[in-house]
Structure 1
Amino acid sequence: MVEPLETALARVRAGVLDDETLVRALASGRRKGQDRPAWKRVELRYVDLKAGRRLQVTRYDDTQAHTTNHDDPAAALDALLAEPFGNWHVDTATETIQVRVTKSGDAAVGVQARSGPAPVREHDRSKARLLAEDDPVLRELGISDAHGRVKPTRRAKYRQIEEFVRELAAALDDAGDRLRPTADRPLQVVDLGCGNAYLTFAAHAWLTRVRGIPTRVVGVDVKEQSRRHNTEVARRLGVADEVGFVVGGIDDVVLEVRPDVVLALHACDTATDDALARAVDWDATLVLAAPCCHHDVSRQLRDAEAPAPHPMLLRDGILRERFADTLTDALRAGLLRTRGYRVDVVEFVGSEHTPRNTLIRAVAAGTDRDRARAEVTGLSEAWHVRPRLAELLDR
């Protein structure tokens, strides 16, 4: 429903200031035609300190988080409500409120009943895990032991899962009411190149049991062995009706239902381009891709003449490879913008197999496509490269 922005923000204010029921609130994006807010996004929750309950506000800029605790929640919240955020998402113990500011300056508001874990009030953020250490998925995958403690040798994998789920949460909140899953039409997620499906199962567990979102997940991998192994894990977890696996390549897999969310994590070289192109073909609302290696553009740079005054960037192999990483992902982000996606390239923890720690997070939200085309063309021509994703999207 659409209502005056003032009314919608009053609804948000009431939900956030109820310290007994608030689970979490998030502000993100910017309003059409207005300056950017002071922060990329802001998260709010209540914490219990020795001095009493406080509103904890975590503000994110391009590189880090800044956390403060406030004994006057109303004053802290009113300052944030005055910022030109384009989206507000509020989870309480009983409902989810989503507010998106429209082009006209009104608010599109969605309210859904919800049920989930009780609000977490511990001040120590390490206790506020998105997936608890004793989660059945983590035990079944061998990350946690029988007592529900993460094994010392699997700490890196657990951290990867936590950071992935955190980025998925940010993307889901940013999408707002562009995604409206129901019991009859669950959220459709595909994980391209899922391997052993650690993140596939983690995504399903968090979406269904923490966020309470009806979800159907399909993992895709070229290995039949992976399909059999992952299908057995799904059976033991009791989620085989909601988490399935198929054998296929990224560029030729056929899905029964068009996916809303496409995941492609640590796909090597141009496999990431294949995944991004499939996401565009499917008109997916959310895309999360963590590229692995970037050989394609690096090979092209080896034979290219760098534009003045930048030849030194290509002179040494190690610098050329690192520059190729940056150039490749910048062009991928730009190409997604030419197809109407709002794109953030953020830091993502690397797996034990690769030091790559970049995540491309895209939301189908409308962008200045002409500007994006001009930027992609200018960058490609300046460095004499033709990214694989451009070829795939032009087919």
Structure 2
Amino acid sequence: MAEELASVLAELRALLLDGEGLVRAVASGRQRNTSPPWRRLELRPVSLKAGQRLQRVAYDERQAHTANAAYGDEAGAMVDEALSQGFANWHVESTGGTLQIRITKKGEPMVSRTKPAAPVERELSHNRAKARLLDPADPFWQAIGIADADGRIKPTRQDKFRQVEEFLRALDAVLKPEQLPGDRPLRVVDLGCGNAYLTFAAYRFLAHVRGLDVDMVGVDVKRQARERNSALSAQLGWDGLRFLEGTIADAPLDGADVVLALHACDTATDDALARAVAWKARFVLAAPCCHHDLQKQLRAAEAPAPYGLVTRHGILRERLADALTDALRAALMRLSGYRAEIVEFIGSEHTPRNTLLRATYTGGAGDKDVLADYRALINEWKVRPRLAQLLGLEGSGLELPKAGDAGF
């Protein structure tokens, strides 16, 4: 609901200066016609040798800048400065509850207040665990089935919660403000969304924490997934989030700035990457699942010497196929005008499928050295990557091998 801006800011200021009650506050996004000097700002009380201080951590595009202020006039000046910098979103956690503020384009504050379901513990140590991008007590986690009725992440969903959060951390790192559209919503597509844990969390983070104008679509082949997810989106009142029923390859979509795919099985990841390339999507983040396609090809062909010592063992052949598949995918993305890398986005204790292909479109020409290495690799192993077929790169100006050439 909209409230008087002055009274909301007064309430916010009091919470930020409450050394006994504040847990953490996060500011992000920008109000209309303002340019905050930081991408994100965090405030929290810390206990130092000199006594308790209000700590401010300000993030620019490259690093974090930390400052500590003694409670009183010094902390008051720090808070007043933060409130004057034009942030559009504030998320404040305190022992008394959670306050969320979003200042609209008209300058009106939309405010949400929730009481804690259980006593809140404060962490005042100077060196603390990595901050959460999304509050685990946020009601949307309960709506999508990750949290229980008391607002706690379910034990059986802890791994999924951490996967989603670390995926969002990787997404946050690549979305630079200067590369985002300024005259229209950011178009985001989650291909093969399933239960849409990532879709809902990404929308919540981008729209309500980063403060971006977002048009987001989740795509899944199952009708029940579309119906369930659409009902939840309506329940949450998130007009910028919708769901479509269809395959990754054929879903009726016009394009996207950001393409996401979390654990799309086997060649479904290739389908997602191919659509991203066709759209020239600016950012692509895909965490592959199983890799059956190249595993079958490796079983059917004789391994080049001396790698028969590896492929004779089923488990090692599977791991080799995983690495080979993702290496070829990254190479093909680079040959399609992307800067691409493969990284680990979460520890293997949470999922064995913990690699992430992260790509940013540059429009550059394919690197001849990458092309030469790609051709040598597929010829050596006699494999035909599904993504190359989907991209239709054979016979193009890149002179990729055609069907029937060695290795195809």
**CA separation of 1:385 and 1:55: change in aligned 2, threshold 3 A:** farther
In the alignment, the residues of structure 1 paired with residue 374 and residue 83 of structure 2 have an alpha-carbon distance, to the nearest angstrom, of 45
Question: Structure 1: which 5+ runs fail to align?
Answer: 1-20, 25-42, 59-66, 73-91, 96-112
Deviations, residues 22-63 of structure 1 (Å, cap 9, x unaligned)? 969xxxxxxxxxxxxxxxxxx9977754225678799xxxxx
Query: How many aligned positions are there?
Result: 309
Q: Match of 1:387, as an amino acid?
A: P
SS, match of residue 219 in structure 2 = strand
| In structure 2, distance between residues paired with 1:339 and 1:152 | 42
Alpha carbons 1:93, 1:116 under 8 Å: kept: no
Query: Which residue pairs with 1:80 in the alignment?
Result: none
- 1:325 matched to which residue of 2? 322
Task: Give the aligned partner of residue 265 of structure 1.
Answer: 262
Measure the CA separation in 1 of the matches of 2:129 and 2:219. Answer: 32
**Divergent runs of 4+, >4 A:** 21-24, 43-48, 52-58, 67-72, 92-95, 118-127, 350-354
**Aligned partner (choices 282, 285, 291) of residue 294 of structure 1:** 291
Read off the aligned partner of 1:374 and give its amino acid letter: A
Q: Distance in 1 between matches of 2:129 and 2:361?
A: 32
> Which is worse superposed, 198-207 or 139-148?
139-148
Larger of the two Rg values belongs to structure: 2
TM-score, normalised by the number of residues in structure 1: 0.69
Distance 1:352 1:193 in 2: 24
Matched, 1:115 2:113: no
Distance across 1 between alignment mates of 2:388 and 2:263:
20
* Paired residues of 2:159 and 2:350 also in contact (CA < 8 A): no
Q: One-letter code of the match for 2:336?
A: R
The Cα RMSD (Å) is 3.4
Structure 2, unpaired ranges of 5+ = 1-24, 29-39, 69-81, 94-122, 394-408
* Aligned residue type for 2:179: R
Equivalent position SS for 1:369? coil
CA distance in 2, matches of 1:50, 1:210: 27
Cα distance in 1, alignment partners of residues 347 and 225 from structure 2: 22
Closer, same or farther: CA 154–125 of 1 in aligned 2, 3 Å? farther
Is the alpha carbon distance of 1:159 and 1:116 closer, same or farther for their aligned partners in structure 2, counting shifts above 3 Å?
Answer: same
**Which residue of structure 2 aligns with residue 384 of structure 1?**
382
| Secondary structure, counterpart of 1:320 in structure 2 | helix
The answer on whether the counterparts of 2:57 and 2:67 sit within 8 Å (CA) in structure 1 is no
Match of 1:393 among 373, 391, 394: 391
1:145 corresponds to 2:148: yes
The Cα of 1:366 is off from its aligned counterpart by 4.8
C-alpha contact 1:251 1:278 (8 A) present in aligned 2: yes
Q: 1:251 aligns with which of 249, 252, 255?
A: 249
- Is the CA contact (8 Å cut-off) linking 2:340 and 2:358 kept in structure 1? yes
Counterpart of 1:261, as a letter, is V
- 1:223 lines up with 2:196 in the alignment: no
Aligned residue number for residue 14 of structure 1: none
1:180 partnered with 2:214 = no
Give TM-score, length-normalised by structure 2.
Answer: 0.67
What CA distance in whole angstroms lies between the structure 1 residues aligned with 2:374 and 2:173? Answer: 26
Q: For each residue in 1:49-98, what CA deviation from the matched residue of structure 2 results, as whole angstroms up to 9, or x when unmatched?
A: 4225678799xxxxxxxx999789xxxxxxxxxxxxxxxxxxx7666xxx
| Cα distance in 1, alignment partners of residues 391 and 188 from structure 2 | 22
Shift of 1:135: 1.1
Structure 1 CA distance for aligned equivalents of residues 386 and 283 of structure 2: 21
